[in-house]
């Protein structure tokens, strides 16, 4: 019994030392200018940078103004309701950037013809129609050039979910290929987007798979065997092998084999599988917390996501929900429920990525 306890003690010490080493390693190469910037930021500014919001008009309304100027949000999610035409959208983005103290992530959902928030883009190829890595990279590159010309610097794409059932809610948005091929095509799209000056947000880890019910309006529970889970994770493994510092979006899916919590709230998924086993080092972004599958209490959901390892929260359209997320994150930080180290690590990653997108 004593020998077993000694072994357990050694294992615990090893894990703690490894965790400390990884934490130090993640921040030791931060440029002095960014360290100085972070040290000068208030808690409100730091919390704001960890949240991306949407609003409902084609001009800078009071909602957008308060979020950018007073709440210091890190980014704006552009939807169709924000858009009239190219000239108006460019002007809107320029105005938002001029108001913000820190450059904004300007992100949109642009997967092709089906998920197409900027309707006048010429490049609208669906993922189901992409068959080669050369085509995948070129599609992403051309789309990125159009987005960047508008002032959009991030895109929710590509989709790496592996779905085989035509009834799956995400089936028509996938590559419709085997996991290895999905990984190859996804890696090519990442290269294309980055070459065009736009940061791709690869989604939705660990995969919604053959889930029938839409997680925007329903709980998302996916029963997988060990082999099925491995196949669902394979596209992400392959993309991360090519670029461990990608930006990645979590899914609000519960996979009971791993955890009873949605992956967005699961330290087992995000810390053990994604960061330790798959060596992920990039920026981790939640799916929209207004989705039903994320739970009904958005403030608690945001806290749980950050404590599980998420760096940036997608806070949807609702003004009151956005205020709740910002308020609850700040309160959790003040009460020590979220550590200063966690917050600063997120801010370092956010500011480093923003610097690279200038």
Give the per-residue pLDDT at 39.
92
Identify whether residues 112 and 221 lie together within a single domain.
Answer: yes
pLDDT band at residue 27 under the 50/70/90 scheme:
low
Identify whether residues 23 and 59 lie together within a single domain.
Answer: no
* pLDDT, tens digit, 9 for 90 and up, residues 199-218: 999 999 999 999 998 999 88
Identify whether residues 190 and 235 lie together within a single domain.
Answer: yes
Is the pLDDT score of 21 beyond 60?
no
Identify whether residues 23 and 39 lie together within a single domain.
Answer: no
- Helix (H), strand (E), coil (C) string for the chain: CHHHHHHHHHHHHHHHHHHHHHHHHHHCCCCHHHHHHHHCCCHHHHHHHCEEECCCCCCCCHHHHHHHHHCCCCEEEECHHHCCCHHHHHHHHHHHHHHCCCCCEEEECECCCCCECCCCCCCCCCHHHCCCHHHHHHHHHHHHHHHHHHCCCEECCCECCCCCCCCCCCHHHCCCCCHHHHHHHHHHHHHHHHHCCCEEEEEEECCCCCCCCCCCCCCCECCCCHHHHHHHHHHHHHHHHHCCCCEEEECCCECCCCCCCEHHHCHHHHHHHHHHHCCCCCCEEEEECCCHHHCCCHHHHHHHHHHHCCCEEECCCCHHHHHHHHHHHHHHHHCCCCCHHHHHHHHHHHHHHHHHCC
* pLDDT, tens digit, 9 for 90 and up, residues 57-77: 999 999 999 999 999 999 999
The total number of structural domains that make up the chain: 2
Identify whether residues 188 and 255 lie together within a single domain.
Answer: yes
Identify whether residues 39 and 24 lie together within a single domain.
Answer: no
Domain of 23, in residue numbers: 1-30
* pLDDT, tens digit, 9 for 90 and up, residues 242-301: 999 999 999 999 999 999 999 999 999 999 999 999 999 999 999 999 999 998 799 999
* pLDDT, tens digit, 9 for 90 and up, residues 165-204: 999 999 999 999 999 999 999 999 999 999 999 999 999 9
Identify whether residues 53 and 26 lie together within a single domain.
Answer: no
Give the per-residue pLDDT at 114.
79
Identify whether residues 55 and 24 lie together within a single domain.
Answer: no
CATH (domain of 327)? 3.20.20.300
Identify whether residues 167 and 210 lie together within a single domain.
Answer: yes
Is the pLDDT score of 4 beyond 70?
no
Is the pLDDT score of 18 beyond 50?
no
Identify whether residues 253 and 305 lie together within a single domain.
Answer: yes
Identify whether residues 25 and 120 lie together within a single domain.
Answer: no
Identify whether residues 20 and 95 lie together within a single domain.
Answer: no
């Amino acid at each position: 019994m004593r020998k077993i306890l000694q072994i357990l003690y050694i294992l615990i010490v090893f894990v703690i030392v490894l965790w400390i080493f990884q934490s130090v390693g993640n921040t030791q190469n931060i440029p002095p200018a960014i360290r100085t910037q972070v040290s000068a930021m208030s808690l409100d500014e730091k919390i704001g940078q960890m949240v991306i919001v949407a609003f409902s008009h084609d001009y800078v309304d009071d909602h957008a103004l308060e979020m950018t100027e007073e709440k210091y949000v890190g980014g704006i999610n552009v939807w169709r309701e924000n858009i009239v035409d190219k000239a108006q959208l460019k002007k809107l983005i320029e105005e938002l950037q001029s108001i913000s103290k820190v450059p904004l992530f300007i992100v949109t959902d642009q997967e092709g013809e089906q998920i197409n928030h900027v309707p006048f883009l010429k490049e609208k190829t669906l993922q189901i129609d992409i068959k080669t890595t050369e085509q995948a990279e070129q599609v992403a590159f051309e789309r990125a050039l159009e987005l960047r010309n508008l002032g959009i610097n991030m895109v929710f794409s590509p989709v790496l979910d592996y779905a085989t059932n035509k009834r799956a809610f995400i089936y028509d948005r996938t590559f419709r290929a085997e996991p290895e091929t999905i990984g190859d095509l996804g890696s090519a799209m990442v290269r294309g987007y980055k070459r065009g000056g736009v940061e791709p947000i690869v989604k939705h880890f660990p995969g919604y798979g053959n889930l029938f019910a839409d997680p925007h309006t329903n709980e998302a529970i996916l029963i997988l065997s060990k082999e099925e889970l491995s196949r669902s994770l394979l596209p992400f493994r392959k993309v991360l092998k090519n670029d461990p510092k990608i930006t990645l979006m979590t899914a609000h899916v519960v996979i009971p084999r791993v955890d009873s919590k949605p992956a967005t709230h699961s330290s087992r998924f995000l810390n053990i599988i994604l960061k330790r086993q798959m060596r992920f080092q990039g920026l981790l972004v939640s799916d929209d917390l207004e989705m039903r599958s994320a739970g009904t209490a958005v403030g608690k959901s945001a806290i749980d996501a950050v404590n599980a390892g998420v760096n940036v929260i997608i806070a949807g359209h609702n003004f009151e929900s956005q205020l709740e997320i910002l308020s609850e994150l700040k309160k959790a930080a003040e009460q020590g429920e979220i550590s200063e180290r966690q917050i600063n690590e997120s801010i370092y990653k956010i500011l480093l990525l923003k610097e690279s997108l200038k």
